[in-house]
């Protein structure tokens, strides 16, 4: 009792400790997510349109991405971040009504939760935006979620008197485009890099990657600081990023462009800063949206092309492997009896040549008919084999196919062959039936060519899921009690049995006939190790 009591007390202690550790990790994760959310909000507030609406709102993408990747249980981190952001707006110099801020927070929370749910439904989990369908699904999810936030937020601001009725449409448009533009920068970056961040980093950690980042930075600054015609200068760099580095490179390039554009415009510099505040926000949003969509779809198209090329190469490799396997199978089916007949014909041909040289008519008269008989036998064997290959068990069942095979061999070789088996369907796979049929065909060929038998039997049984086939003859059997080796036909049977996980047995002795038995286990037909 004394030894068991401490153990019983230790187990709950460990359980409580593990529970505390999980709770601490969860709380720390919530705080980290809230801090990241507030930081993203600070970045978005650098280019504010009016009230609490920013031209670009990165927290939308951060929140949706976090809940999509890690689960909806992390929503308290988003909620806490929203409280901090709205508290600053409430207590700031240009304070907003509490009711409007409450509506804004409700809309933003709905945006993030609904966006994550729709995103999972449309593109599944673990998407890397390397397919055009995933990019399109993300756009639908973001468009729906941000429209929800814009609608709730706009109504809240109108009810609180922050905006007038004539400003509702323009305010809603700015809110919706701002959340969508911000989400299209942050969310794709998270999805593209979350799946394999180290691989993406190694791919960019090259001379070409450094040149790309430098080119994107330089062209993005030139596009915003220069005149209107220069805004298109950044797109060649975007295409380069997508073409050479896929979604990870494309999303990084879009992020660099968005940060530089927002920063330069927020400092009242560049092309967009010269416009009125509403046009400034709209121009910035559309510029980022077009750049993001171009890079994302181009990156997805490049990834799909690379994947298709790999699949084509794999298909060609598999096709070559299947062709090689088929050649091996045909070589295996051309069992040793055909090889022996042709080799014997070669020996007789040489004997006939020697008889001609020695002028031995009697030997020549004996060799020529023998050569003809051997060639006829090989030809007959080949025809029979080809005929039997086309008469497998497909569609008819193993017993019916073996019965037809036995009838054909019996008529051709004048050898009585008795077949017995169940009338119903066998509980093994079609592949197992094909291999069993081939083993039976090989065994009968050995009986005909080697056994000198007067009668043969084939029994097929099914018991407790196992299917067994026995091929027996009354011929001369093996030369010893040791199982024969070195025959291509026997090796063929062993190989076929192994492919379906079956057990192959040989029995026999000199003058006692030969018995070949193969037993297929339940669920047979699968290779060993699968």
pLDDT digits (tens, 9 = 90+) for 259-289: 888 888 877 787 777 777 667 778 888 888 9
C-alpha to C-alpha distance for 116 and 496, rounded to whole angstroms: 52
C-alpha to C-alpha distance for 470 and 461, rounded to whole angstroms: 9
- Report for 226-230, 341-345, 407-411: range of highest mean pLDDT: 407-411
- Per-chain mean pLDDT for the chain: 81
User: Higher model confidence: residue 296 or residue 11?
Assistant: 296
Whether residue 331 is predicted with pLDDT greater than 80 in this model: the reply is no
Whether residue 202 is predicted with pLDDT greater than 80 in this model: the reply is yes
Whether residue 94 is predicted with pLDDT greater than 70 in this model: the reply is no
Average pLDDT over residues 83-104: 79
C-alpha to C-alpha distance for 180 and 354, rounded to whole angstroms: 94
Whether residue 413 is predicted with pLDDT greater than 70 in this model: the reply is yes
Average pLDDT over residues 3-31: 75
| Beta-bridge mates of residue 514 | 508
User: Higher model confidence: residue 340 or residue 174?
Assistant: 174
User: Higher model confidence: residue 512 or residue 156?
Assistant: 156
User: Higher model confidence: residue 415 or residue 11?
Assistant: 415
- Report for 29-33, 94-98, 154-158: range of highest mean pLDDT: 29-33
pLDDT digits (tens, 9 = 90+) for 165-192: 888 888 898 889 889 998 999 999 999 9
Residue 59 exposed, middle or buried by CB count within 10 Å (0-12, 13-18, 19+): buried
Q: What is the DSSP string of 47-109?
A: GEEETTEESS-HHHHHHHHHHHHH-GGGHHHHHHHHHHHHHHHHHSTT---HHHHHHHHHHHH
Whether residue 528 is predicted with pLDDT greater than 70 in this model: the reply is no
Average pLDDT over residues 409-423: 87
User: Higher model confidence: residue 13 or residue 488?
Assistant: 13
In 230-257, which positions are buried (b, 16+ CB within 10 angstroms) versus exposed (e)?
ebebbbebbbbbbebbbbbbbbbbbbbb
Whether residue 147 is predicted with pLDDT greater than 90 in this model: the reply is yes
pLDDT for the residue numbered 344? 67
168-194 helix and 277-333 helix, angle to the nearest 10 degrees: 30
pLDDT for the residue numbered 369? 79
Is the distance from CB of 325 to CB of 377 less than 8 angstroms? no
pLDDT for the residue numbered 417? 92
Sign of the CA dihedral with 269 first, then 270, 274, and 278 last: negative
pLDDT category of residue 455 using cuts at 50, 70 and 90: very high
Lowest mean pLDDT among 80-84, 94-98, 301-305, 497-501: 94-98
pLDDT for the residue numbered 322? 64
Name the DSSP class of 468.
E
Per DSSP, the three-state class of 154 is: helix
**Alpha carbon separation from 17 to 21, 22, 23, 249 (Å, rounded):** 6, 9, 10, 43
Whether residue 133 is predicted with pLDDT greater than 50 in this model: the reply is yes
Whether residue 332 is predicted with pLDDT greater than 70 in this model: the reply is no
Average pLDDT over residues 112-131: 91
235-266 helix and 168-194 helix, angle to the nearest 10 degrees: 130
Whether residue 249 is predicted with pLDDT greater than 80 in this model: the reply is yes
């Amino acid at each position: 009792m004394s030894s068991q009591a401490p153990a019983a007390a230790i187990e709950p202690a460990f359980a409580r400790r593990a529970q505390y550790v999980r709770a601490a990790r969860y709380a720390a994760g919530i705080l980290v997510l809230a801090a990241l959310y507030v930081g993203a909000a600070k970045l978005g507030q650098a280019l504010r349109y009016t009230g609490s609406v920013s031209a670009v709102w990165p927290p939308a993408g951060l929140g949706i991405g976090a809940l999509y990747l890690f689960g909806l249980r992390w929503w308290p981190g988003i909620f806490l971040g929203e409280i901090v952001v709205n508290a600053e707006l409430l207590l700031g110099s240009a304070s907003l009504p509490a009711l409007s801020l409450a509506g804004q927070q409700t809309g933003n929370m709905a945006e993030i939760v609904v966006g994550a749910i729709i995103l999972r439904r449309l593109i599944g989990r673990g998407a890397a935006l390397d397919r055009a369908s995933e990019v399109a699904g993300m756009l639908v999810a973001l468009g729906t979620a941000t429209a929800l936030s814009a609608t709730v937020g706009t109504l809240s601001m109108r009810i609180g008197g922050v905006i007038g009725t004539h400003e509702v449409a323009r305010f809603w448009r700015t809110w919706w485009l701002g959340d969508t533009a911000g989400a299209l920068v942050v969310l794709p970056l998270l999805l593209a890099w979350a799946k394999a961040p180290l691989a993406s980093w190694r791919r960019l950690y090259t001379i070409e990657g450094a040149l790309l980042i430098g080119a994107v930075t330089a062209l993005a600054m030139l596009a915003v600081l220069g005149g209107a015609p220069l805004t298109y200068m950044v797109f060649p760099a975007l295409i380069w990023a997508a073409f050479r580095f896929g979604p990870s490179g494309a999303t990084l390039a879009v992020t660099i462009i968005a940060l530089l554009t927002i920063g330069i415009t927020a400092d009242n510099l560049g092309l967009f800063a010269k416009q009125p505040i509403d046009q400034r926000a709209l121009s910035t949003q559309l510029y980022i949206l077009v750049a993001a969509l171009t890079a994302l779809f181009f990156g997805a198209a490049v990834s799909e092309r690379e994947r298709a090329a790999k699949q084509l190469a794999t298909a060609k490799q598999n096709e070559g492997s299947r062709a090689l396997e088929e050649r091996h199978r045909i070589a295996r089916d051309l069992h040793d009896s055909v090889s022996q007949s042709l080799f014997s014909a070669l020996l007789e041909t040489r004997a006939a040549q020697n008889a001609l040289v020695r002028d031995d008519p009697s030997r020549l008269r004996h060799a020529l008919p023998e050569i003809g008989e051997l060639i006829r036998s090989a030809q007959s064997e080949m025809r029979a084999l080809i005929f039997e290959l086309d008469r497998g068990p497909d569609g008819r069942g193993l017993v019916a196919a073996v019965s037809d095979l036995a009838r054909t061999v019996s008529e051709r070789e004048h050898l009585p062959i008795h077949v017995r088996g169940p009338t119903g369907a066998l509980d093994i796979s079609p592949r197992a039936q094909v291999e069993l049929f081939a083993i039976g065909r090989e065994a009968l060929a050995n009986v005909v060519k080697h056994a000198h038998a007067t009668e043969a039997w084939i029994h097929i049984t099914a018991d407790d899921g196992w299917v067994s086939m026995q091929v027996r003859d009354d011929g001369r059997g093996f030369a010893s009690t040791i199982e024969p080796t070195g025959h291509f036909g026997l090796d063929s049977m062993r190989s076929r049995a192994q492919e379906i996980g079956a057990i192959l047995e040989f029995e026999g002795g000199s003058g006692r006939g030969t018995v070949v038995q193969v037993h297929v286990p339940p669920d047979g037909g699968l290779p060993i190790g699968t």
